[in-house]
Structures are given as C-alpha cells and as structure tokens.
Amino acid sequence: MSKPSWQEVAQRAQDHRDASIRRVEPHIPPVPDQLPLDRTEIPKYILTTEEVVITQLPAEELTASVAEGKYTSTAVVNAYLRRAGLAQALTNCITELLPEKAKARSEFLDQYYKEHGKPIGPLHGLPISVKEHIGMKDLGLNAGFISWWDKKGTDDAHVLKILWNAGCVFYARTTQPQTLMHLETSSNLYGATTNPFNCYLTSGGSSGGEGALIGMRGSCLGLGSDIGGSIRSPAANCGVYGLRPSSYRIPVEGWSATMAGQEQVVPVLGPLSTSLEGIKLFMKTVIAAKPWLDEPSLIPMPWRDQESYFPAIAGGKKLKVAVLWDDGIVRPHPPVVRALREIVDKLKAIEGAEIVDWEPYDHDEAWKIVSSLYFCDGAQEETDAIDASGEPWRPLSKFIIKENPSVKKLTVADVWHWTSRREAYRSEYAKKWNATATRTSNTGIPEGKVDVILCPVGPGAAPPLDCARYWGYTSQWNILDYPALVFPVTKVDPAVDKIDQSYRPRNEKDEYNHQLWQSGPEKYTGAPVSLQLVGRRYEDEKVVEALEYIQGKIGLPFAKFV
C-alpha cells in the first residue's frame, strides 16, 4: 500500500470533518449561494428562534439558565452544534464536530440535574470549543501538519479534564495553521479560515478557528494557545475577548506541538469568549482545581480576586492606564488609533481613572530576542513535519521560518546568550514600569505606578489573507510574559478612517503595513477593531478587574457585533 499523497490526506481530513457535521441533528441546512461580506447575520435566518437566543447568550448567562432549569444541556449543545456547523460553512473554522459525544454528555448532565436538582459543577451544560492541537483521547492531533494527520490523543489534555469535571460539554474542534506559527489560520489540511465580519480578511491565528467560531457565536467559550499572539490575534480580528495568561497558570499537558521542551518563550493555553465574564469563568474554574498538584510546572497561585486592586478614589487610588499609541516600529492603522482615542477620551472624563502615555522601550530588541528564541533548532522540527508529506509550505510558514533572519540552528551557548538578553530586557522593562511610581510607601515600596497598559493588538484590523506579517504588538508581551487581554471596541469605517497621505514609513515593516491600508481602506469595511489591556507578570486578575471597571464605566464595545 503506497503512502497517500498530501492531497489525499487533506481530502480525508475534510471528509472526516464533513461527515461529522452531517451527523448533527436536526440536520444543518445549506447556506445560501450568494453571501454577503459579513456572515455573522446568516445563522439568525437559518436557526430556530430558541437556538438563536441560546447561542447569543454569554457563558455566564448560559450556565445560569441551565442551572436554574430554563434550558436543558441537550437543548443548549444542539443549538451550538448547529450554529457551529453553519460557522464552518461560512468561515471554514471546524476540523470536526462531536455530535455523539456531545449528546451522550449532555444527556448525562440532564439526568444528573433531574436526579440531584442542581448542576454538577460551575460549567454544567456549557459547550466548550477546543483548538485541534489540544489533545482529546483517541481523536486526531495534527497541529496543522499533513504528516501528523494520523496522530491521536492518548488521553484528554489536563485542562480538558478539569473543564469536564466542572460540567462542560465538548462538541467542536477548530482549525489552526500549518506549524501553529502564523497570525492567521491556513493549512493544507483545511485551507484558510476566514473572518466572520468580512470574508476577504483573515480570522487571525493561530487559534483562528476559535476566533471565527466564537465570532460567529458558534461557541461562547473556547480554548486556544498563544506563543506570539495566537489567542489575541483571532480574538481581536473576530471581535471577541481573549486572554493570554501569564505562564504556568493554565495546564498545557496533553497538547501537541513542535518544540516540546522549549522553555525560553513559554507557550500558554487560554480562553477566547464572547464575554469578559466567560474569560473569568474559565480562569477561575481551571485554577480552582489546583492543577499544579498534577502538573508541577504550574505555579500554585489561586485566582486572587479577593482583594480589589482599585479604584479607591478617596484614598487617591485610581486606575492608572498607560497608553501605548505606537510601538515605534510599525505605526497602527487609523481605525486602531481611533479606537484608542475613543477609549482615552471617555476614560479622561471619569473620576476613577488616570491616563498617561507609555513610551515603548526598545520593542525592536524584544522582537530580536523572541524571534531568535522561537526556533532554536533552526526550525528543524517544523521543516521535518512539513517536508515529511511533501505538502507545500504555506506563505506565512515561509515568512516566519525561511524568510526570517533570526531563525538559525543555535548552540547551547547561543540559547544562553539570548536567554540572558531576555532577562536583561525584562529587568529594564520592569525598571521602566517601576519608574512610573509617584510615591513611596512607609515600607519603602514604590506606589502609584501604572496599573495596566492599553495598546493595539496588531498594526491594524484583520488583514487580507497571507498579510499578517507583523507580530510585535502581541509577541512583545510573550517575551515579557505579561498577561494580555483583548476586547472588542469598534469596527472599521472607511468613511471615518481615512488614508494619511503625508506619512513617511520608518522602515520596511512599517512600509508594508502602511501599504496595506493605503491600498484601500474599504477592503477592511466592517472588520472588528479591538484593543489589548496588559498587566505585569502574574497580574492576570488585575487586568481582568481593570477591564471590568472600564467596561462598567464607559460602556464597551462601541459598535454592535452580533
């Protein structure tokens, strides 16, 4: 029996996916032939009213509704299965649906609820979608490579076990790019995942299946991973919330990726959700299970929301927000600057916040470090995994590996060199942050420092396919290991977001990004514009609390998303 061609493997992958979608009941009708740019409205005309209502509830309301018996778990998961199937037809975001597993699980949960009169756990009946490379027992684990198509999960990933014990239902697995190292989502297994709000743009990546699915409301809570922006880019592009937690808080055991054993830039798992509460629910539930007892790389740190960080205005304790308008390397497109401006104007008008500017500290050095540490083996593992099947290199795989001058086969001494530079850079950044203090406590500790940095998630809204070539606005926080929370703000409006004819780009990267916009703002019509709130290392709780405060005060987002 000869080895199948890569095209044959891709066909199998797609057949497997399509068959799984066909098994959803009630059957999912086809979508219209003629589709608008923005696909987010389509499911509303196809699904039942109850299905639409259910799938547009945020996670916290959905769990509350199931807990009080308003909906059964079965009704909920069926609605999500059907909307996920439509999301696949509209954005190509699914690797497989799991209708049988989801049915068995939701029936079990409904039975439990009937018998005990209460939910089994805080996530009782909540459907959760999962990026494909986060392993599920006996299911595929391809991580975007044709040659890995036959790999199977030997067990459910640690984080999935915790979510399961809390009562959730797994029903959908989502797409990722070749190598997992794109800020978009295209592979030779499934092709490209597109943006729900504008089909000519990317959903972002590498958790772009999650981004598109959640943007389509085919999921209200999903699990992605991030080593350079892979949770945040799709969250931003698709108008949903996404958190890159600090390292070693959320379990990673049981995922599949290249570079296992690499610890210089720690990859993390984290949530994407239609609501900030969904993000928090995920973090609290996973951390409450004390995952460090089973996965010793994790820090035994509870979710610390007992103390309130701010604002206690009477005591002079405001929320101090520093705004990074531009990283000094690639200037963000006009809609991103507008989103920053709109938020800053509103924050300036409230009493509990204080706004200062954040001067970027040598973000160029940060990119040198992080890009040198990504593929320390000269990308040997990625190259082997691609070449093993003869599949073509996707343009963005070429970009980040073959056309990236930082990718070299490093020696151990080289790795130590870059690691020391990373530590030096982290120290300098900490000093800069400390220097924002305005007073000293009586124990000598500086106070009145910046609480969070507000900044772009990328140099623009979602770009067209194959154009996401600037990682700096997200990878910056990976190399510093700062928690970073993405939230939707507004949408691109070419009538407002104009071309700036006078701007002279600073460098090649800036020129590339500038041209993306100059060549036609109308290409971006309707694309979500999101921003990022960044905290110091391990201040995940503070970042979430800060966004809760901001949202409560100024009302976000400023545009309607679904």
Side-chain half-sphere exposure of 73, counting CA atoms within 13 A: 30
Q: Which two tokens stand for residue 293?
A: 């007892």
Q: Please report the DSSP string for 97-161 in residue order.
A: E-HHHHHHHHHHHHHHHHHHSS-SSTTTT-EEEEETTB--BTSB--TT-GGGTT-BBSS--HHHH
Active-site residues, by number, are: 131, 206, 230
What is the rounded distance in angstroms from the CA atom of residue 260 to the CA atom of residue 523?
Answer: 39
In the complex, minimum distance from the CB of residue 354 to its own copies, in angstroms, rounded to a whole number:
20
In the complex, minimum distance from the CB of residue 163 to its own copies, in angstroms, rounded to a whole number:
13
Helix (H) or strand (E) holding 66: helix 59-67
Question: Does the annotation place 230 within a ligand binding site?
Answer: yes
Q: Nearest 5 degrees, angle CA 152-CA 155-CA 161?
A: 135
Q: Which two tokens stand for residue 321?
A: 């927000």
What is the rounded distance in angstroms from the CA atom of residue 110 to the CA atom of residue 119?
Answer: 9
Contact assessment for residue 74 and residue 103, using Cβ atoms and an 8 Å cutoff = yes
Q: Which is nearer to its own copies, 430 or 496 (CB)?
A: 430
Helix, strand or coil, per DSSP, at residue 488: strand
The closest alpha carbon to 458, from 529, 511, 507, belongs to: 529
Contact assessment for residue 527 and residue 492, using Cβ atoms and an 8 Å cutoff = yes
Q: Which is nearer to its own copies, 289 or 468 (CB)?
A: 289
Strand ranges (E), 457-518: 484-491
Q: Which is nearer to its own copies, 300 or 390 (CB)?
A: 300
Q: Which two tokens stand for residue 427?
A: 């120290």
Which residues contact residue 432 at a Cβ distance below 8 angstroms, ignoring those fewer than 6 apart? 359, 361
In the complex, minimum distance from the CB of residue 123 to its own copies, in angstroms, rounded to a whole number:
13
Question: Does the annotation place 228 within a ligand binding site?
Answer: yes
Q: Which is nearer to its own copies, 334 or 483 (CB)?
A: 483
Q: Which is nearer to its own copies, 167 or 526 (CB)?
A: 167
Phi, psi of 542 (to 5 degrees): -65, -40
In the complex, minimum distance from the CB of residue 208 to its own copies, in angstroms, rounded to a whole number:
27
In the complex, minimum distance from the CB of residue 533 to its own copies, in angstroms, rounded to a whole number:
18
What is the rounded distance in angstroms from the CA atom of residue 230 to the CA atom of residue 90?
Answer: 21
Contact assessment for residue 256 and residue 133, using Cβ atoms and an 8 Å cutoff = yes
Q: Residue count of the chain, please give it.
A: 562
What is the rounded distance in angstroms from the CA atom of residue 206 to the CA atom of residue 98?
Answer: 22
Question: Does the annotation place 254 within a ligand binding site?
Answer: no
In the complex, minimum distance from the CB of residue 121 to its own copies, in angstroms, rounded to a whole number:
9
Residue type, 265: V
| Residues that bind its own copies in the complex, under the rule CB under 8 A | 165, 253, 259-264, 288-290, 292-297, 299-301, 376-377, 380-381, 409-413, 415-420, 423, 426-427, 429-431, 434, 443-446, 480-481, 536-539
Question: Does the annotation place 519 within a ligand binding site?
Answer: no
What is the rounded distance in angstroms from the CA atom of residue 438 to the CA atom of residue 450?
Answer: 9
CA distances from 204 to 29, 286, 424, 468 (A): 27, 26, 31, 8
Q: Which is nearer to its own copies, 121 or 196 (CB)?
A: 121
Point out which residues pair with 447 in neighbouring strands: 439
Tokens 């799984």: give the residue: 20
What is the rounded distance in angstroms from the CA atom of residue 428 to the CA atom of residue 40?
Answer: 44
In the complex, minimum distance from the CB of residue 376 to its own copies, in angstroms, rounded to a whole number:
4
Pairing of the two strands 191-192 and 186-187? antiparallel
Q: Which is nearer to its own copies, 253 or 466 (CB)?
A: 253
In the complex, minimum distance from the CB of residue 387 to its own copies, in angstroms, rounded to a whole number:
16
Question: Does the annotation place 406 within a ligand binding site?
Answer: no
Q: Nearest 5 degrees, angle CA 53-CA 55-CA 59?
A: 110
Question: Does the annotation place 475 within a ligand binding site?
Answer: no
In the complex, minimum distance from the CB of residue 319 to its own copies, in angstroms, rounded to a whole number:
19
Q: Which is nearer to its own copies, 170 or 248 (CB)?
A: 248
Q: Does the CA dihedral 83-89-90-92 come out positive or negative?
A: positive
What is the rounded distance in angstroms from the CA atom of residue 310 to the CA atom of residue 317?
Answer: 6
Q: Which is nearer to its own copies, 1 or 412 (CB)?
A: 412
Contact assessment for residue 225 and residue 182, using Cβ atoms and an 8 Å cutoff = no
Annotated binding site: 180, 206, 227-230
Annotated binding site for substrate: 180, 206, 227-230
